[in-house]
């Protein structure tokens, strides 16, 4: 047996080990791995575990639960005690119950003398319930043991040693035991106090238990030893610590040697399972004064570890003797780590079988790991902790459970903390609700309570039999613990640590559930639906025509195009049209005229007698060269997707899959973060030297507020007399200076605040306030002057100068920053597209670091009211006709500028306030749509259909094509994302994907790009910390960062770097994370395949869709670490995760 000196040396050594940096790092990492492994197991096996429970007839309700930590004197609830006291007042009111100071008092006299009205007894006057006043106040808590605030009533009702021989106390305990016996699944280990005041304590306790028949098969006793030596020493009841120990243990040794000397004590000892040591741990430990209990005569209490060791060695000696005599032995299960010094847990670790509380292990992770390895049990009492030392929300119990520590739930003191007739079930119920514990979790905790308890092994085996057979949870726990022990043993034997490859959990497929099979089928159908739409964006489906380097070299095409039901269709030649009405397809051929006609024109033109005898025949209406998905089919598919967003089982399935993906990333990053950083250090590059594309930035808001302020100031200083309006506010040839005067602005003195373009709190949930920020100085006229292309008399010169001075200058200075500037084509004028192209050409706004994106604002109703368009088809015609015409005849003088502009456009966008309530999706043809703005999905379909037709036509001519990248899911209804899923190549924002796990998972499976703008989104719709960007990124969605509108949001000259920097700081993104986001931006962008190959390395990729998906299948082919700064292990992890999901769905 170790001496006290040995114990002190071991204690100091343990503290030293657990304080060593390398071991702290090792232990923290192992605990994190345990946490990750459990989360994986739960996600993958949750349903399987529940099926096992049902199959084998297991559930929490039928599982035996042991209250492993409950003090007998507070084992009843306050209501139970109150009703008991009331009953005794009614039946024993005149009975003498107290003899004190030579006087005897009846029960009624006691209440009367203390001014307690027995007619108005209630829980409030009983005053034993812990409240806010007990937090961090153990002294206040101890006072609550006194019913009605009277210590004499505690003596009468809650003590064994009193005038009545503890009769009332025994009666209420008997009621508790009867309840436990009646329940069959609830067992207890009540704690009896033996103080060590004198050696007679044991005999008196045994006599009280036996005389009142308090032994029960539903209970095992634990003897708690309060650390009250200092009080007994002050009262001269003991003269040193050895006497205190002798009073505690000598009667037990004597009885073990001669049980016949006190048969009642001998029997009591057979019913005791363990010893405990209790008291307020917040009290500072005294300095060690003596090593020997004989020498400890100090009035001060010995330190905690002194108690621990000497109680422990006496238990060990007693156990050795009892074992030799064939008698039962005892465990040591002290209170430890509830509060006070963390060092108590070190002391207990060396000597304890299990402990009570242990919540301070959350502060000492190295020791927490050792408690896991040794499986020392923790009987945790969260409701007790909540009232005394630690708020429930901060309790580490769920963390301990996840990591596999041997934890059980216990009640501690129901009198102070619980309200129901079954405090232990109440403890479980609160934990289940607060921490969302499943039935399997609860059963595991109950299992732990059985294994921790001191009930006879045959009883425990009987209770555990049903729990241990075919139990995936327990098998997982055994497997993980075994692997951890094996890892430590290999480390100790070889001195070399090799991280094992983790088989985190056996894969039990969700397909085993009927609703799971149905959900998987729906997800597969959704992916196939999208493929039927997006195939028009894939070059594999286009005509095989060599690309054209210069569109001007192309001759005029014989193909013709015509709008039919809102969608342009391309035909082989003009011969398919009616000879009389070239807007209508021919379906009649007059053989005498030799011309095709539509049926109506043929009838009208052949009314003349001489033509009525013309020979004619019906012909098939020509079919367009490229068949699109009909709108009627889109409606059906869209409605099916909307239904999927509301499908409960599908959302449940997808939510689990998304969690698995997130956990895989966290686990991977935890294990390989250092390795990743080592890989990128070896390349000599960094995040700042990788290409970053701002995939979503509005051209007229691409400068910052300060840059606009500086520009306007410069113009007012150097060009104030320049004429900027032909007619303005009733005057002709108005100068810039005069413009400010007419708008009642001081052109000589203004500030950034006066400019009023930066968005602030006033814009949150107020889109109209945000839109108002488009107007410098809150004047729409100045927006027209400085930030528009066509709506001014200077032909958009100021906006062009702004972009060249600030945006293009930034691109010239940094080879690693690229932009995709969005410019509006609204559709109110047929010549708008040509006008914008002329503005671009005139101002030399084609830059190698930028690609243009055409954004189509959803403002049809405005133009309809203004009379600019007759119907929705008219607006679509105005938008797309110029592009088709420039594709048909790019060399025409009127088309040359537009042709060159189209060659530098990579995508179309659709923008507008998604918060507006949509009309119902209607089957109406756009040519007859004269109502308000069409629904979001209606807009998206007709934009998509025209882009698809244009792409096929341009591909036929060897010209560049476009992707569709609409604003989608920033706010509004999640149905917008259902439409975007079908027709978009990528989207902007997408924050509402958090509302539909099914859609979010589908966006992952199809790798639809998402340009996230956390700074922009935080201004109007979502606080920055609530942005889903980090969540999307971790799960593996195809997401990148973009700026949206630097004019309103950013402060630096490099807004995209500001966006990345903010995200990296607030979300703790490391260089590899940042580089992967930047890498995504390049793949998502519309820059050419040659440019992407130069920036990323690897093989040439053809377009955004196939490049991302191909990367997930062949990660080594599409990047060069020296250029991207994205480690191959990161890409391989993404590829493995994607393959894992494909296998799950059966889509390998």
Mean pLDDT value across residues 170-182: 93
pLDDT for 505: 41
Whether residue 780 is predicted with pLDDT greater than 60 in this model: the reply is yes
Q: Cα dist. 535→531, 532, 985 in Å?
A: 6, 6, 10
| Model confidence pLDDT, tens digit, residues 492-531 | 887 655 555 554 444 444 444 566 788 999 999 999 999 8
Mean pLDDT value across residues 869-877: 95
Among 180-194, 410-424, 433-447, 828-842, the range scoring the smallest mean pLDDT is: 410-424
R_g of the chain computed on alpha carbons = 40
pTM tops 0.85: no
Q: Pairing state of beta strands 96-100 and 103-106? A: antiparallel
Averaged pLDDT of the chain: 88
pLDDT for 515: 67
Give the C-alpha separation, 43 to 76, whole Å.
39
> What secondary structure does DSSP assign to 363-396, as a single string?
G-HHHHHHHHHHT-EEEE-HHHHHHHTS-GGG-S
In sequence order, the 6+-apart residues with CB closer than 8 A to the CB of 1136 are none
pLDDT for 499: 58
Chain center to CA of 499:
27
SS3 category, 1006: helix
Chain center to CA of 403:
19
Whether residue 541 is predicted with pLDDT greater than 70 in this model: the reply is no
Strands (E), 671-736: 692-698, 723-728, 731-735
Helices 975-983 and 997-1006: angle between axes, nearest 10 degrees: 20
Catalytic residue positions?
357
Whether residue 223 is predicted with pLDDT greater than 90 in this model: the reply is yes
Whether residue 691 is predicted with pLDDT greater than 90 in this model: the reply is yes
The two tokens of residue 1108 are: 């991302």
The two tokens of residue 918 are: 């949509």
Residue with tokens 């808590």: 141
Nearest to 49 by CA among 473, 464, 443, 432: 473
Give the C-alpha separation, 998 to 994, whole Å.
10
Whether residue 275 is predicted with pLDDT greater than 90 in this model: the reply is yes
Q: 381-395 burial by CB neighbour count: b if 16+ within 10 A, else e?
A: bbbbbbbbbbeeeeb
Mean pLDDT value across residues 169-174: 93
Whether residue 979 is predicted with pLDDT greater than 90 in this model: the reply is yes
In sequence order, the 6+-apart residues with CB closer than 8 A to the CB of 269 are 252, 255, 256, 327, 328
Check: CB of residue 673 under 8 Å from CB of residue 1068: no
Give the C-alpha separation, 139 to 127, whole Å.
15
In sequence order, the 6+-apart residues with CB closer than 8 A to the CB of 671 are 33, 499
Give the C-alpha separation, 868 to 567, whole Å.
20
Chain center to CA of 197:
56
pLDDT for 131: 67
Among 323-327, 428-432, 586-590, 941-945, the range scoring the smallest mean pLDDT is: 586-590
Of the two residues 953 and 107, the one the predictor is more confident about is: 953
Mean pLDDT value across residues 55-72: 89
Whether residue 750 is predicted with pLDDT greater than 70 in this model: the reply is yes
The count of other CB atoms within 10 Å of the CB of residue 752 is 13
Give the C-alpha separation, 536 to 558, whole Å.
22
Nearest to 502 by CA among 38, 907, 866: 38
How many residues appear in the chain?
A: 1148
Among 52-56, 646-650, 789-793, 889-893, the range scoring the smallest mean pLDDT is: 52-56
| Model confidence pLDDT, tens digit, residues 854-864 | 999 999 999 99
Nearest to 743 by CA among 761, 724, 765, 759: 724
pLDDT for 1102: 47
The count of other CB atoms within 10 Å of the CB of residue 464 is 17
Tell me whether residue 359 is exposed, middle or buried, using C-beta atoms within 10 angstroms of its C-beta: 0 to 12, 13 to 18, 19 or more.
Answer: buried
Nearest to 130 by CA among 73, 74, 176, 83: 74
Mean pLDDT value across residues 363-379: 96
pLDDT for 492: 83
Check: CB of residue 126 under 8 Å from CB of residue 148: yes
| Model confidence pLDDT, tens digit, residues 1029-1059 | 999 999 999 999 999 999 988 899 999 999 9
SS3 category, 902: helix
Among 177-191, 341-355, 525-539, 918-932, the range scoring the smallest mean pLDDT is: 525-539
């Amino acid at each position: 047996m170790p001496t006290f000196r040995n114990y002190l040396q071991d204690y100091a050594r343990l503290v030293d080990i657990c304080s060593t940096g390398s071991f702290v790092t090792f232990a923290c990492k192992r605990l994190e791995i345990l946490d990750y492994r459990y989360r994986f197991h739960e996600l993958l096996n949750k349903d399987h575990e529940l099926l096992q429970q049902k199959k084998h007839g297991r559930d929490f309700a039928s599982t035996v639960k042991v209250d492993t930590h409950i003090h007998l004197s507070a084992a009843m609830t306050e209501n139970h005690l109150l009703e008991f006291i009331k009953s005794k007042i009614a039946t024993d009111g005149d009975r003498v119950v107290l003899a004190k100071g030579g006087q005897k008092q009846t029960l009624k006299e006691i209440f009367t003398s203390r001014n307690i009205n027995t007619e108005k007894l209630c829980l409030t006057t009983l005053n034993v319930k812990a409240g806010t006043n007990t937090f961090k106040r153990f002294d206040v808590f101890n006072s609550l043991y006194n019913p009605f605030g009277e210590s004499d009533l505690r003596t009468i009702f809650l003590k064994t040693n009193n005038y009545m021989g503890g009769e009332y106390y025994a009666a209420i305990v008997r009621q508790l035991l009867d309840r436990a016996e009646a329940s069959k699944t609830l067992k207890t280990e009540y704690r009896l106090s033996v103080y060590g005041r004198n050696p007679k304590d044991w005999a008196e306790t045994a006599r009280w238990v036996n005389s009142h028949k308090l032994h029960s098969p539903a209970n095992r006793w634990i003897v708690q030893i309060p650390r009250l030596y200092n009080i007994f020493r002050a009262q001269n009841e003991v003269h040193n610590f050895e006497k205190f120990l002798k009073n505690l243990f000598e009667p037990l040794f004597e009885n073990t040697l001669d049980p016949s000397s006190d048969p009642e004590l001998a029997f009591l000892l057979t019913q005791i399972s363990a010893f405990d040591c209790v008291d307020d741990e917040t009290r500072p430990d005294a300095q060690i004064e003596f090593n020997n209990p004989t020498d400890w005569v100090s009035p001060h209490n010995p330190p905690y570890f002194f108690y621990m060791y000497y109680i422990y060695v006496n238990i060990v000696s007693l156990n050795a003797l009892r074992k030799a005599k064939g008698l039962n032995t005892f465990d040591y299960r002290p209170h430890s780590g509830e509060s006070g010094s963390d060092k108590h847990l070190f002391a207990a670790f060396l000597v304890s079988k299990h402990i009570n509380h242990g919540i301070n292990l959350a502060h000492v992770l190295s020791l927490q790991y050792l408690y896991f390895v040794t499986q020392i049990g923790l009987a945790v009492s969260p409701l007790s902790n909540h009232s005394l030392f630690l708020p429930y929300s901060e309790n580490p119990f769920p963390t301990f459970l996840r990591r596999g520590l041997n934890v059980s739930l216990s009640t501690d003191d129901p009198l102070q903390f619980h309200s129901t007739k079954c405090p232990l079930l109440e403890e479980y119920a609160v934990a289940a609700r607060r921490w969302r514990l499943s039935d399997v979790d609860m059963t595991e905790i109950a299992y732990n309570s059985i294994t921790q308890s001191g009930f006879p092994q045959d009883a425990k085996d009987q209770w555990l039999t049903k729990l241990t057979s075919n139990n995936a949870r327990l098998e997982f726990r055994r497997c993980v613990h075994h692997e951890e022990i094996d890892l430590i043993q290999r480390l100790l034997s070889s001195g070399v640590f090799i991280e094992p490859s983790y088989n985190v959990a056996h894969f039990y497929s969700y397909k085993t559930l009927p609703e799971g099979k149905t959900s998987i089928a729906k997800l597969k159908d959704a992916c196939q639906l999208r493929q039927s739409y997006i195939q028009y964006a894939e070059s594999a489906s286009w005509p095989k025509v060599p690309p054209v380097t210069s569109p001007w070299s192309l001759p005029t095409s014989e193909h013709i195009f015509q709008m039919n039901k809102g969608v342009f269709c391309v035909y082989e030649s003009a011969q398919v049209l009616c000879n009389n009405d070239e807007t209508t397809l021919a379906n009649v051929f007059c053989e005498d005229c030799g011309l095709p006609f539509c049926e109506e024109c043929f009838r009208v033109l052949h009314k003349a007698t001489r033509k009525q005898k013309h020979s004619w025949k019906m012909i098939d209406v020509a079919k367009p060269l490229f068949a699109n998905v009909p709108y009627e089919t889109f409606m059906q598919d869209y409605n099916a997707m909307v239904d999927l967003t509301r499908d409960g089982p599908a959302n449940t399935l997808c939510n689990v899959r998304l969690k698995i993906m997130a956990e895989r990333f966290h686990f991977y990053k935890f294990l390989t973060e250092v390795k990743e950083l080592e890989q990128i250090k070896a390349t000599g590059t960094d995040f700042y030297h990788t290409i970053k594309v701002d995939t979503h930035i509005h051209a007229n808001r691409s400068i910052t507020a300060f840059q606009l302020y500086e520009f306007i100031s410069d113009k007012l200083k150097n060009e104030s007399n320049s004429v900027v309006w032909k007619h303005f506010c009733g005057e002709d040839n108005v100068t810039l200076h005069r413009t400010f005067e007419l708008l009642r602005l001081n052109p000589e003195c203004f500030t950034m605040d006066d400019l009023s373009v930066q968005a602030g709190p006033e814009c949150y949930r107020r889109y109209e306030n945000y839109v108002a920020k488009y107007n410098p100085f809150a004047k729409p006229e100045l927006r027209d002057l400085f930030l528009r292309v066509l709506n001014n008399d200077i032909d958009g010169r100021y906006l062009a100068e702004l972009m060249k001075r600030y945006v293009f200058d930034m691109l010239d200075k940094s080879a690693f920053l690229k932009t995709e500037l969005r410019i509006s084509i609204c559709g109110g004028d047929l010549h708008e597209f040509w006008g914008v192209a002329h503005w671009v050409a005139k101002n030399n706004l084609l830059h190698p670091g930028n690609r243009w994106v055409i954004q189509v604002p959803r403002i049809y109703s405005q133009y309809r009211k203004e009379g600019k368009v007759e119907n929705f088809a008219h607006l679509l015609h105005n938008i797309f006709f110029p592009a088709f015409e420039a594709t048909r005849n790019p060399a025409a003088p009127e088309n040359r500028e537009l042709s060159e502009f189209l060659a530098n456009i990579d995508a179309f966008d659709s923008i507008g306030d998604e918060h507006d309530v949509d009309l119902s999706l209607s089957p109406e043809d756009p040519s007859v749509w004269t109502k308000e703005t069409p629904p979001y999905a209606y807009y998206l379909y007709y934009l998509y259909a025209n882009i698809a037709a244009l792409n096929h036509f341009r591909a036929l001519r060897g010209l560049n094509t476009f992707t569709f990248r609409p604003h989608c899911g920033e706010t509004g209804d999640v149905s917008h994302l259902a439409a975007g899923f079908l027709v978009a190549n990528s989207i902007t924002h997408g924050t509402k994907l958090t509302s539909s796990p099914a859609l979010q998972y589908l966006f992952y499976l199809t790798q639809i790009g998402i340009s996230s703008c956390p700074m922009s989104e935080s201004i109007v719709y979502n606080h920055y910390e609530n942005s889903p960007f980090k969540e999307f990124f971790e799960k593996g969605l195809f997401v990148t960062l973009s700026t949206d509108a630097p004019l309103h949001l950013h402060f630096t000259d490099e807004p995209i770097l500001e966006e990345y920097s903010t995200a990296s700081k607030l979300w703790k993104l490391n260089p590899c994370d940042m580089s992967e986001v930047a890498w995504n931006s390049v793949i998502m962008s519309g820059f050419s395949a040659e440019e992407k190959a130069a920036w990323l390395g690897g093989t040439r990729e053809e377009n955004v869709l196939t490049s991302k998906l191909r990367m997930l299948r062949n990660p080594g082919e599409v990047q060069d670490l020296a250029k991207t700064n994205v480690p191959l292990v990161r890409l391989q992890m993404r590829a493995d995760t994607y393959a894992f999901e494909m296998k799950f769905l059966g889509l390998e």
